[in-house]
Amino acid sequence: MEIRVNKPFDASRLLADLRIIHADTLHAARSFATAAVAVGAGGAALLLALSGMSGLVVLLLALAAYGVYLGFGHSRSLRRAVSELPEVCQHEALLIVTEERITQEHPSIRSEILWAAITRVVETDAGWLLFYGSRQAISLPRDGMDEDQELQFRSFLTTRAPVAA
């Protein structure tokens, strides 16, 4: 089997993939941020209404502000990571998938990952994320494949059931 897929650089797709890769961190940060905003703003409102302790109100409002910052911070970091990607990576890539490896070729960079290193495969709306670490993955876009290639790849994934998830 050899599947060749042209993968144009798409910042919005890359950002969507990063959000999937970092979904657990984003969820935890947003949960903590929501709690910080609720406790900070709610506590400040209660203190102002009931006792007028302005010193503690400032501290609670600072907690709420930190929650807002934290809630948007991770998404902002992912957007910055995409926007600061080196020029050498912002070109169309050729992905070559064989039984032994996945090769990604940019005009100036080439990377190869053996299938033995792939620990997890996640299917997304746009294609597949082939994980070779907890936060490292190669994106294989579905729109670069014809129907026969997609069926061939799906069939190949079923033979690799222990890593396909």
Per-residue confidence (pLDDT) for residue 104, from 0 to 100: 93
Q: Under DSSP, is residue 145 helix (H, G, I), strand (E, B) or coil? A: coil
> Tokens 């790849």 belong to which residue?
153
Taking a C-beta distance cutoff of 8 angstroms, is the pair 86, 108 a contact?
Answer: no
| Residue pointed to by tokens 């992905």 | 95
In this predicted structure, what is the pLDDT of residue 103?
Answer: 94
- CA-to-CA distance for 121 and 145, rounded, in angstroms? 17
What integer pLDDT is reported at residue 128 of this predicted model? 93
**Which CATH number covers residue 141?**
2.30.29
**Rounded Cα–Cα distance for residues 19 and 10 (Å):** 14
Q: Tally the C-alpha atoms within 13 A of residue 77's C-alpha that lie toward its C-beta.
A: 11
Last residue of a domain, one of 83, 107, 140: 83
Residue with tokens 């209404």: 49
pLDDT on residue 118:
92
What residues contact 126, with CB distance under 8 A and at least 6 apart? Answer: 13, 16, 17, 139, 141, 142, 143
Check: CB of residue 103 under 8 Å from CB of residue 111.
yes
Query: What is the residue range of 127's domain?
Result: 2-10+87-159
pLDDT at 113: 94
The per-residue pLDDT for 164 is 43
Sequential pLDDT tens for the chain (165 residues): 899 999 999 999 999 998 899 888 888 888 888 898 899 888 888 888 887 667 788 888 888 998 888 888 878 888 898 999 888 888 899 999 999 999 999 888 999 999 999 999 999 999 999 999 888 999 999 988 989 999 999 989 888 755 444
Q: Is 164 part of a structural domain of the chain?
A: no
Residue-level length of the chain: 165
> What is the count of structural domains for the chain?
2
